[in-house]
Structure 1
Amino acid sequence: MDSIELFTGAGGLALGTHMAGFHHRGLMEWNDDACDTLRRNAKLNALPGISGWRVHQTDVRMMSFDLFGEVDLIAGGPPCQPFSLGGKHRAQDDSRNMFPEFVRAVRELQPRAFILENVKGLLRQSFSNYFEYIKLQLEYPTITKRRDEEWTDHRNRLEEVRTKGRHQGLKYNVISELLNAADYGVPQTRERVFVVGFRSDTNLEWHFPEPTHSLDALKWDQYITKEYWKRHRIRAPRNEPVSLGVKLSDLEQDGPFKTKPWRTVRDAIAGLPEPIAGRDAKDFSNHRLNPGAKVYPGHTGSPIDLPSKTLKAGVHGVPGGENMIAYPDGSVRYLTVREAARVQTFPDTWLFEGSWSEAMRQLGNAVPVDLAAVVANSVAAKLNAGDEH
């Protein structure tokens, strides 16, 4: 099945859809370092089958999507700064708002399905009307905004079309959900909004995949069976997880759990040598120590025996609190780029171009590969099943 990727960044979503069996006919990205990352990994065939990836370094507003021909899937994460909790929250008034370009790609290529992802901030109450507007545009992509028409008036027209229920043109069945990456095996509590649509003439039924991992299962593994500590060959702590509001008596009553344990920072970085400053570790690219990590209020790091906090790109540089490991003895250090890549579930063969801060920015903007793969695998399975009937 063929696909294109918009706003590819360092390739998290593109890798997930690739792993699900989609063949990318084009990857679009603007950032120099992110494009260098994509090109280098394609040249090295960092993952089997990606050597043919074609990277278009371009402003998507200037792109004619017709050159890609017929595709089964469009995927992408439009720039999130207009909606991010760490951004300036200008939403539809922000020049970086690229949702209209994603809608245009759907309108021009009419894929059988699309996957759009974005930050949790898109669900904030102040943006709720605009989020519904985005979904309505994706539902009826050929009903376009008129020149000089306010977006609220366009939204009203789309709502009228939906309530009338007689639209005969291009239509998608669209659903959205907030997913926590930790619930799907990613060692990071990263919440992302996914919007998935299937072209209505496919007549396919679909729902978001059920979570496979949980905090309760992690606490069971750590404090009831203690298998977690045995697996890492370290002594189990005496303290109960009171700070997380988990009672061991409740765990014993409810467990064992059908879900797997949340994966932790310690799980993610297992097998990597201790980093040193000045040079990469042997056999591991992008794995060198960046010194200078410090703790201060609001800047405390991610406890090593829990999933990482959400890695962030930051508006004014990289916020180090989310990009530090916090050890039980109170010490902290910055994650290396390779460790952050593992937290984002990129394969060790994936190389990142640019300085430490720029590589971290790419990672902070990325979709966790394994989360993308879970959603993409489910979409691919449904499309393939539709082909068989």
Structure 2
Amino acid sequence: MKLGSNKKAGTYIDLFSGCGGFSLGLGKAGWTGLFAVERDPMAFETFKYNLIDGKYNHFNWPSWLPQESTTIQDILENYPKELASLKGSVDLIAGGPPCQGFSLAGRRNSSDPRNKLSEEYMNMVKIVSPKYLVLENVRGFNSKFKDAKGEREKLPYSMVVKARLEKLGYHIFTDYLHSEHYGVPQKRTRFIMIGIRSDLFQNDIDPFQVLASLRLDFLNKKNLPNRPVNVKSAIGDLETSKYPLIYHSGSITQGFKKIDYKPPRRLNAYQKLMREGLKGIKPNSLRIARHRPETIEKFKTILELCQPGKGLSDEHKKIIGTKKQVISVLNPKEPSRTLTTLPDDLLHYSEPRILTVRENARIQSFPDDYVFRGKYTTGGSRRTQECPRYTQVGNAVPPLLGEVLGELIKDIKCSLK
């Protein structure tokens, strides 16, 4: 099936929008945003800077809703009439409810209150009754938890959500998508749920078969190869050895530095896509971490011991003296492992340091002129309450994945007319 640039998309609402990866992708696929909901002020600041006030603006934001961080619950309570007036007129609700309690990469917790945010998503669906739904989450969303006695629960939470949405009048399809199949230089497997309102549904439609038929055309449209993009191709032009380090912030002698980036004369296909139309413009968030000398020595040891692309073994952890659950070195010849919100989970493939926010953004497929705002990191008790730049990028839906999902729903929408 061919992608049609002349096909009209429609309007959408982005729930749990974060810094805007999903919305950026939907905008590039031709969708018009109505509004987005994000609780964290820093993540919403990034969203607003780029997608409401900036180059990537494609929102017709309603006058009744302030352009500020908020929650679905607050909107449901404060604007019931305004939401009711939208019933049936919105084409798509998209979103990825916070997933930390479901993640297989951390400590899975069935009672994590963030798990229940999927119910807020469903409450909004019930009131607005959009024509289509897309819900994105981690693989663990579709895995069974163990209860307090160590016994597996009967249903994964995804199936509870599916049943609830079917009761609201949607045909629901689910599958796993591998981001590296759609140009993202990262092995990021995501559980995707797609809903089609029953009055629109036709029996011969299978969204995931349609998506498979769109894949090659999507990659061709982006001038990307039909093979996974590797880490070196994604961030090789951002290595610190290629540029002088210049002052970024803090004191002149002890403060942070950044690379003085100048685009190389020859960019590969992926780098060209990330820098499309930018010429000599430098991306933001190139600040280099300020590692202590002993940390640099530890990272050098890890680079020597760790098999690229694999996690440190327990034996190697003992040698290094770390109890950290996950730490690995990027393999330059493969897509990255899944990015997380913790910047020291992954080390650079050839330099003894963590990645910059911009390198993480490249691996997530954010273009170089997408500007990240707010703190770089946070720690301690604030870690679960704030969303600094590393967290914003780690939590995001890769824009390329959001774009191909936007193309998919647009294609289905046109075929069902």
Distance 1:337-1:268 versus aligned 2 partners, 3 A rule: same
Distance 1:111-1:41 versus aligned 2 partners, 3 A rule: same
Structure 1 residue 302 and structure 2 residue 324: aligned? no
User: What is the CA–CA distance in structure 2 between the aligned matches of 1:50 and 1:279, rounded to whole Å?
Assistant: 33
Structure 1 residue 116 and structure 2 residue 135: aligned? yes
Structure 1 residue 321 and structure 2 residue 345: aligned? yes
Structure 1 residue 42 and structure 2 residue 33: aligned? no
Task: Structure 2 unaligned segments of length 5 or more: list them.
Answer: 1-9, 146-152, 217-224, 246-255, 262-281, 303-315, 318-325, 378-387
Percentage of identical aligned residues: 30
- For the residue of structure 2 that corresponds to 1:262, the secondary structure is coil
Tell me which residue corresponds to 1:130. 157
* Structure 1 residue 356, shift from structure 2 partner: 2.4
User: What is the CA–CA distance in structure 2 between the aligned matches of 1:312 and 1:177, rounded to whole Å?
Assistant: 22
Distance 1:136-1:79 versus aligned 2 partners, 3 A rule: same
Structure 1 residue 3 and structure 2 residue 31: aligned? no
User: What is the CA–CA distance in structure 1 between the aligned matches of 2:129 and 2:58, rounded to whole Å?
Assistant: 25
Q: Which has the higher contact order (CA 8 A, sep 6+)?
A: 2
Mapped contact 2:35–2:60 kept (Cα < 8 A): no
* Structure 1 residue 354, shift from structure 2 partner: 2.0
Distance 1:106-1:51 versus aligned 2 partners, 3 A rule: closer
Tell me which residue corresponds to 2:276. none
- For the residue of structure 1 that corresponds to 2:196, the secondary structure is strand
User: What is the CA–CA distance in structure 1 between the aligned matches of 2:131 and 2:359, rounded to whole Å?
Assistant: 36
Distance 1:272-1:110 versus aligned 2 partners, 3 A rule: same
User: What is the CA–CA distance in structure 1 between the aligned matches of 2:160 and 2:199, rounded to whole Å?
Assistant: 22
Instruction: Please list, as runs of the form range in 1=range in 2, the aligned pairs for 1:21-170 lying within 5 A after superposition.
Output: 21-42=30-51, 44-47=53-56, 49=58, 55-64=67-76, 67-68=82-83, 69=86, 70-91=89-110, 93-96=111-114, 97-126=116-145, 128-141=155-168
Mapped contact 1:301–1:320 kept (Cα < 8 A): no
User: What is the CA–CA distance in structure 1 between the aligned matches of 2:182 and 2:173, rounded to whole Å?
Assistant: 19
Tell me which residue corresponds to 1:263. 229
Paired residue total: 304
TM-score by length of 2: 0.67
- For the residue of structure 2 that corresponds to 1:202, the secondary structure is coil
Distance 1:280-1:47 versus aligned 2 partners, 3 A rule: farther
Tell me which residue corresponds to 2:148. none
Distance 1:56-1:44 versus aligned 2 partners, 3 A rule: closer
User: What is the CA–CA distance in structure 2 between the aligned matches of 1:348 and 1:116, rounded to whole Å?
Assistant: 26
Structure 1 residue 173 and structure 2 residue 180: aligned? no
Tell me which residue corresponds to 1:231. none
Tell me which residue corresponds to 2:257. 278
- For the residue of structure 1 that corresponds to 2:212, the secondary structure is coil
* Structure 1 residue 35, shift from structure 2 partner: 1.0
Deviations 1:31-58 (A, max 9, x none): 1210111122235523253596974411
Task: Structure 1 unaligned segments of length 5 or more: list them.
Answer: 142-170, 214-258
TM-score by length of 1: 0.72
Mapped contact 1:341–1:363 kept (Cα < 8 A): yes
User: What is the CA–CA distance in structure 2 between the aligned matches of 1:183 and 1:40, rounded to whole Å?
Assistant: 30
Mapped contact 2:46–2:373 kept (Cα < 8 A): yes
Greater mean deviation of Cα atoms: 57-66 or 357-366? 57-66
Task: Look up the equivalent residue of 2:43 and give its one-letter code.
Answer: A
